[in-house]
């Protein structure tokens, strides 16, 4: 980030939809250097009001799926369908497990060959691993940057591991789970807790030999979803399970229609704004919490004391409450 | 709590298994008065080492179920079976939604008529509503008191609402979900997120006219459970769904056998101790977090600032991060 453009330079270019400026801004929000952090915060703040005044609000779609379900191919097909419909689409990846520098589940953009060459698309791989709190902030800020740049849809892609789904669910308007067909008794292996967040379950590879298995898997999940209680933020019939084929394009239009129908209903019923306000409040409190705790971890003496107490607690030498009381009394 | 006995008096009586002393101690840990709090902490600490030296470790069973599934009847039948098998059983209720003073989902003990009269049983309704953090601490301390008093099994009962299941799951060794049979297309209404925590799903009322529906419901849930990924802490075949009848007693012995088999496997494989250590570490960090946050809420100026910022964030006037940064910079 030599000769990094200042927030002042970047803001108007982002608002003009300049993808290179957007890419630079995302790099800025990913940086952990204190001066970059300050620049990033200033930039986000400078964009907040113009974005609101322009009425720019993207449809934020969370997309979760384990490796092998064909996520990149799906994003390519889904993204191209939106772009061909005249929409601007941004794709952000969240992969806190990635440890390669610049590595990501998206890997090189060659896996989204067509979409990455579209002027109306912006694809950004996951930054290298940082702690989940940092990833959450970076992703929220990247989403805000994409909204400022006038993107209609922001796809937030995440791999089906760890806590990243919960995090993504807290920053998207619609959450989509992508699955592969399961054959017969074969277990699908959906991580517990992910299914419950899904607004839409898409079973990919509903083509060729796998089509019957995909149909059966859709029916299985539709059945499982019916066993769960209807959430107030869902219209009748949601969450839904549908077959898609990223390869043939079958079901892609239907899936997009369902996402839109759900988004429209939630907007009409006030759930959209309410969810965004709740999410914002959640992140505010999470940031305060995180900030307080990071002070605990920053001070070397306190950090040592926390580690010692945690060990004593795990070994049963202290109750969690007594250990916490001791830490708190020393603050 | 006039002439409350001191921690010093109560400890040996609790270790001797005195139920009246135990009841007084639970009342003490439920009190929010600062002097009672200090006494409670001292008592818990005084009991910690003797409890460990005596090797007293109860099997902590979390039990969740919405009203109407027959939870009290089930606890009566299940508890009586254990007592008749020579075990000592404590029942604690967690109901943060209860607002009646002393009110609880257990209500009066008359709903567990036989069990409440057993000398080997101890039943304690939920205290009146406090914030969830307070309920968690009180329940953990009550569990510790019951273990100190030599109870073999501690049943922690919770109603299927809100965050209380997650909380109970973090303090029990085995989590049981009790359901009623669903007829045909009728929705069961299991809260999302609860099913994923269950080690055992028991479908109650598997008797008389409802038996076929119960059998079908068991099959439905067994199918849904198969769609979820096997957790490392589960032996082959778990989580499991089984029919029971609290009324006729059918399936109660089988359910207990499954709980024991699961507990034994987890002990043999080291999951039991690991889970308890993880839970202790979780509660330690939760207490530190809570303690830090409660300082935020205790200071009236800060409290006002937090509320103002939360409002600004919800209304979109400030980003969550900028709002949090402002709060943190003023600490």
CB proximity A323 to B under 8 Å:
yes
Burial of A131 (0-12, 13-18, 19+ CB in 10 A): exposed
The pLDDT score that the predictor gives to residue A183 is: 56
B313 contacts A189? CB cut-off 8 A: no
Q: What is the pLDDT of residues B246-303, one digit of tens each?
A: 999 999 999 999 999 999 999 999 999 999 999 998 899 888 888 887 777 788 888 8
Residue B116 vs residue A153, higher pLDDT: A153
The pLDDT score that the predictor gives to residue A160 is: 61
Angle at the Cα of B229 from the Cα atoms of B204 and A194, rounded to 5 degrees? 90
| Chain mean position to CA A81 | 20
The lowest-confidence range among A79-93, A123-137, A253-267, B131-145 is A123-137
Residue A248 C-alpha, separation from nearest chain B C-alpha, in angstroms: 26
- In B249-268, the residues whose Cβ lies within 8 Å of chain A are none
SS3 content of chain B, % helix, strand, coil (to 5): 55, 10, 35
Burial of A244 (0-12, 13-18, 19+ CB in 10 A): buried
Q: Which two tokens stand for residue A214?
A: 């995909």
Q: Which two tokens stand for residue A291?
A: 């900030």
DSSP-assigned states of every residue in B246-272: TTT-TTHHHHHHHHHHHHHHHHHTTHH
CB proximity B323 to A under 8 Å:
yes
pLDDT band at residue B187 using 50, 70 and 90 as cut-offs? very low
The pLDDT score that the predictor gives to residue A277 is: 92
Instruction: Identify all chain B residues contacting A189, using CB atoms and an 8 Å cutoff.
Output: 228-230
Cα–Cα dist B18/B11, whole Å = 10
Q: Pairing between strand B59-64 and B174-179?
A: parallel
**Could you tell me the maximum CA-CA distance found in chain B, to the nearest angstrom?**
66
The lowest-confidence range among A148-152, B98-102, B274-278 is B98-102
The pLDDT score that the predictor gives to residue B212 is: 93
DSSP A228: B
Q: What is the pLDDT of residues A306-326, one digit of tens each?
A: 889 988 988 888 888 889 888
Q: What is the pLDDT of residues A202-233, one digit of tens each?
A: 999 999 999 999 999 999 888 888 887 778 89
**Could you tell me what percent of chain B has a pLDDT over 70?**
88
For the segment B181-208, the average pLDDT, to the nearest whole number, is 76
Burial of A2 (0-12, 13-18, 19+ CB in 10 A): exposed
The pLDDT score that the predictor gives to residue B21 is: 95
| 3-class DSSP assignment, residue A107 | coil
CB proximity B293 to A under 8 Å:
yes
Q: What is the pLDDT of residues A68-116, one digit of tens each?
A: 788 999 999 999 999 999 999 999 988 755 443 333 444 545 678 899 8
DSSP A80: H
Instruction: Identify all chain A residues contacting B313, using CB atoms and an 8 Å cutoff.
Output: 277, 280-281, 283-284
Locate the DSSP E strands across chain B. Answer: 59-64, 89-94, 121-124, 153-158, 174-179, 200-203, 240-243
The pLDDT score that the predictor gives to residue A192 is: 60
The CB density around residue B9, as the number of other CB atoms within 10 Å, is 13
The CB density around residue A248, as the number of other CB atoms within 10 Å, is 14
Phi first, then psi: what are they for A123, rounded to 5°? -120, 130
The pLDDT score that the predictor gives to residue B6 is: 72
Residue B60 vs residue A101, higher pLDDT: B60
Is it the case that residue A328 has pLDDT exceeding 60? Answer: yes
| Chain mean position to CA B120 | 20
Burial of A128 (0-12, 13-18, 19+ CB in 10 A): middle
Query: pTM (2 decimals)?
Result: 0.74
CB proximity B289 to A under 8 Å:
yes
Prior bond of B60 cis (ω within 30°): no
B320 contacts A281? CB cut-off 8 A: yes
The lowest-confidence range among A7-21, A102-116, A187-201, B126-140 is A102-116
For the segment B173-190, the average pLDDT, to the nearest whole number, is 74
Cα–Cα dist A149/A147, whole Å = 5
Contact A312, A323 (CB under 8 A): yes
CB proximity A283 to B under 8 Å:
yes
Residue A39 vs residue B159, higher pLDDT: A39
CB proximity A54 to B under 8 Å:
no
The pLDDT score that the predictor gives to residue A106 is: 46
**Could you tell me what percent of chain B has a pLDDT over 90?**
50
Residue B222 C-alpha, separation from nearest chain A C-alpha, in angstroms: 10
Q: Which two tokens stand for residue A260?
A: 């839109």
Q: What is the pLDDT of residues A10-55, one digit of tens each?
A: 999 999 999 999 999 999 998 888 888 889 989 998 999 999 999 9
DSSP-assigned states of every residue in A152-169: SEEEEEEESSTTHHHHHH
The pLDDT score that the predictor gives to residue B99 is: 42
Strand partners, B246: none
Is it the case that residue B51 has pLDDT exceeding 90? Answer: yes
Residue A166 vs residue A273, higher pLDDT: A273
Burial of A212 (0-12, 13-18, 19+ CB in 10 A): exposed
Residue B232 vs residue B194, higher pLDDT: B232
Is it the case that residue A187 has pLDDT exceeding 50? Answer: no
The lowest-confidence range among A200-214, B21-35, B171-185, B229-243 is B171-185
- In B87-146, the residues whose Cβ lies within 8 Å of chain A are 137, 140-141, 144
Instruction: Identify all chain A residues contacting B327, using CB atoms and an 8 Å cutoff.
Output: 288, 291
Of A203, A174, A167, which Cα lies nearest the Cα of A61? A174
Instruction: Identify all chain A residues contacting B306, using CB atoms and an 8 Å cutoff.
Output: 288
DSSP-assigned states of every residue in B85-132: TT--EEEEEE-TT--STT--SS-SGGGGHHHHT-TTEEEEPPPSP--H
Residue B103 vs residue B15, higher pLDDT: B15
Cα–Cα dist B74/B8, whole Å = 37
Q: Pairing between strand A200-203 and A240-243?
A: parallel
pLDDT band at residue B190 using 50, 70 and 90 as cut-offs? low
Phi first, then psi: what are they for B129, rounded to 5°? -60, 130
Residue A288 has its nearest CB partner, among B45, B315, B327, at B327
| 3-class DSSP assignment, residue B165 | helix
Strand partners, A177: A64, A201
pLDDT band at residue B8 using 50, 70 and 90 as cut-offs? confident
Is it the case that residue B328 has pLDDT exceeding 90? Answer: no
Contact residues for B9 (Cβ-Cβ < 8 A; gap 6+) = none
The pLDDT score that the predictor gives to residue B121 is: 95
Q: Which two tokens stand for residue A67?
A: 């490796």
């Amino acid at each position: 980030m030599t000769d990094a453009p200042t927030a002042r330079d970047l803001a108007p270019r982002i608002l003009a939809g300049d993808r290179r400026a957007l890419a630079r801004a995302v790099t800025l929000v990913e940086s952990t250097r204190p001066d970059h952090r300050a620049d990033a915060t200033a930039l986000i703040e400078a964009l907040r009001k113009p974005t609101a005044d322009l009425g720019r609000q993207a449809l934020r779609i969370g997309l979760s799926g384990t490796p092998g379900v064909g996520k990149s191919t799906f994003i390519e097909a889904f993204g191209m369908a939106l772009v061909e419909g005249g929409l601007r689409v941004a794709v952000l990846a969240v992969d806190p497990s990635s440890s390669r520098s610049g590595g990501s589940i998206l890997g090189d953009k060659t896996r989204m060959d067509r979409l990455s060459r579209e002027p109306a698309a912006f694809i950004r791989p996951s930054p290298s691993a940082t702690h989940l709190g940092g990833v959450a902030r970076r992703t929220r800020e990247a989403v805000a940057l994409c909204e400022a740049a006038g993107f209609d849809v922001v796809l937030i892609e995440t791999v089906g591991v760890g806590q990243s789904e919960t995090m993504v669910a807290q920053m998207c308007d619609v959450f989509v789970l992508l699955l592969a067909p399961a054959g017969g008794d074969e277990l699908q292996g959906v991580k517990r807790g992910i299914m419950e967040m899904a607004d839409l379950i898409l079973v990919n590879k509903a083509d060729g030999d796998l089509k019957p298995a995909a149909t059966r898997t859709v029916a299985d999940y539709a059945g499982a979803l019916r066993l769960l209680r209807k959430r107030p933020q869902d219209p009748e019939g949601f969450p839904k399970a549908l077959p898609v084929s990223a390869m043939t394009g079958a079901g892609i239009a239907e899936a997009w229609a369902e996402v839109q129908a759900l988004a429209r209903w939630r907007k009409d019923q006030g759930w959209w704004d309410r969810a965004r306000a709740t999410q914002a409040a959640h992140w505010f409190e999470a940031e305060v919490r995180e900030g307080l705790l990071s002070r605990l971890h920053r001070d070397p003496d306190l950090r040592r004391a926390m580690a010692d107490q945690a060990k004593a607690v795990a070994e049963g030498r202290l109750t969690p409450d007594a250990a916490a009381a001791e830490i708190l009394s020393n603050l």
